[in-house]
Structure 1
Amino acid sequence: MASCTGYLLGCVFIVAALLQGATAAQTIHVVGDSIGWTIPPSNFAYQTWAANQTFMTGDELMFNFTNGAQDVAEFLKTDYESCNVSLTNAISPVFGSSLYITIETAGEHYYTTTVVDHCKKNQKLTIIAYGTPISSPPSSATSLTNGGFSLFLLLLLSTAIALF
């Protein structure tokens, strides 16, 4: 019975070690909530919506709109503010419907549509994202260097517990 308990406890340590490397789930922000991505009604502002959100690198913005009726793109601040927006000066144009855009860097991001006059009708969104830039996942060698030693110690401890 004691060895069974030790074995079970060892398994718990192994699972805990494996979960240690897991990252927290990122947030998906549905832009405009139920209104979606469209010319906003007079009682709604995307900036007010954004002020009630906390954006982190790795989060996703989900833009809901009808394909062909809207688009969304990120622009430089000056183009965004003046509504000088077109596909040619967009930082990252995106097409489709129910699009997900991953926030990859911290700082201010400016989104609007290239549909004529929609920017001037306040279909635009500024967000401020916090966090560190998203990088590619570490190689397996780096992962072993960073977390491998603690995993080794947990395996050693669980084996010792199982034997006693």
Structure 2
Amino acid sequence: MKTVVVMVVVVLAAAANTKKVSGYKNYTVGDDLGWFDKLEKSTVDYQKWASSKTFSLGDFLIFNTDNNHTVVQTYNSTIYHLCDDSDAVGNDTILYASPDPSASAVHPVSVAVPLTRVGPNYFFSNDYDGEQCENGQRFSINVTQGQGLPPSLRTPTPGAPGPVSQESGDDTVPDTNVPANFDHPKDISDDDDDDDDNGKKKSNGMITQAWGGFSRILILLGLLYSCW
């Protein structure tokens, strides 16, 4: 009798403990060391930093660096291993920040890079003909599907800062590529996306889970009644 009562209480507690949809994540590359090569920060090990983390669609990488370093994202392993993006074609490589040779002084730069493609993603600095990349300013990650892209990353926001065009000839870097109102990550429930398929799947999954728990409660209550 007591065992059955305990089982009912446990199931009730489990049913009440509904899972909150986890938010997308921001990862500060290199943590407090920032985004630099070993000639400036001898202890940086970006591959080690990345190896302990799980990256998914919709997450952001925040690169805290200065105007003497670049942020290159590529899906081309050859470009990554050569530390050279001069042969980049199509959409396989994105230059998010380029050096500012006209700057009279070094100034900080912060760049937010969204993860928008599943699979291998490679990052490096191509400044000084790839010297920074060759001196440790590089790493690769594997991006998983996770909860999928949020609506804000499926359609670019008008006026939002974007990558530097490699054909533009503009080698300048703004003080920051991170908007002042940057509020990522969010819970997916914060997005107005009621018609989104992923949202429907998550809602249906939660309903199914709740109904399954309720059914188990009914069964155990029946057992409890039969014991009486």
TM-score by length of structure 1 reads 0.64
Deviation at residue 26 of structure 1 after TM alignment: 1.1
Deviation at residue 126 of structure 1 after TM alignment: 0.5
Identity %: 22
> Could you say what secondary structure the match of 2:81 adopts?
helix
In 1, Cα distance between the equivalents of 2:195 and 2:59?
27
Q: Kindly report which structure 2 residues correspond to 1:8-23, keeping only aligned pairs within 5 A, or say none.
A: none
Amino acid at match of 2:95: P
Match of 2:30 among 24, 28, 32: 32
Equivalent position of 1:82 in the other structure: 82
In 2, Cα distance between the equivalents of 1:78 and 1:32?
24
> Could you say what secondary structure the match of 1:98 adopts?
strand
> Could you say what secondary structure the match of 1:94 adopts?
strand
Deviation at residue 135 of structure 1 after TM alignment: 6.1
Amino acid at match of 1:47: Q
Equivalent position of 1:98 in the other structure: 110
Q: Kindly report which structure 2 residues correspond to 1:63-82, keeping only aligned pairs within 5 A, or say none.
A: 63-66=63-66, 68-75=67-74, 76-82=76-82
- Distance verdict in 2 for CA 1:49–1:88, change over 3 Å: same
Q: Is the contact between residue 86 and residue 114 of structure 1 (CA under 8 Å) also seen in structure 2? A: no
Which structure would you say has the larger RCO, counting Cα contacts within 8 Å and 6 or more residues apart? 1
Equivalent position of 2:44 in the other structure: 44
Instruction: Structure 2 unaligned segments of length 5 or more: list them.
Output: 1-18, 99-108, 152-190, 208-228
- Distance verdict in 2 for CA 1:72–1:87, change over 3 Å: farther
Confirm or deny that 1:134 pairs with 2:132: no
Deviation at residue 70 of structure 1 after TM alignment: 1.2
Match of 1:113 among 112, 122, 125: 125
Equivalent position of 2:139 in the other structure: 125
Q: How many aligned positions are there?
A: 127
Deviation at residue 140 of structure 1 after TM alignment: 5.5
Amino acid at match of 1:70: H
Q: Give CA deviations for 1:58-113 in whole Å, capped at 9, x if unaligned.
A: 111000011x2111011211011121234966711112821111111221100111
In 2, Cα distance between the equivalents of 1:103 and 1:78?
20
Alignment RMSD (CA, Å): 3.1
Q: Kindly report which structure 2 residues correspond to 1:144-163, keeping only aligned pairs within 5 A, or say none.
A: 146=200
In 2, Cα distance between the equivalents of 1:56 and 1:30?
15
Q: Is the contact between residue 80 and residue 124 of structure 2 (CA under 8 Å) also seen in structure 1? A: yes
> Could you say what secondary structure the match of 2:80 adopts?
helix
Q: Give CA deviations for 1:123-151 in whole Å, capped at 9, x if unaligned.
A: 101011111552648866568xx46xx8x
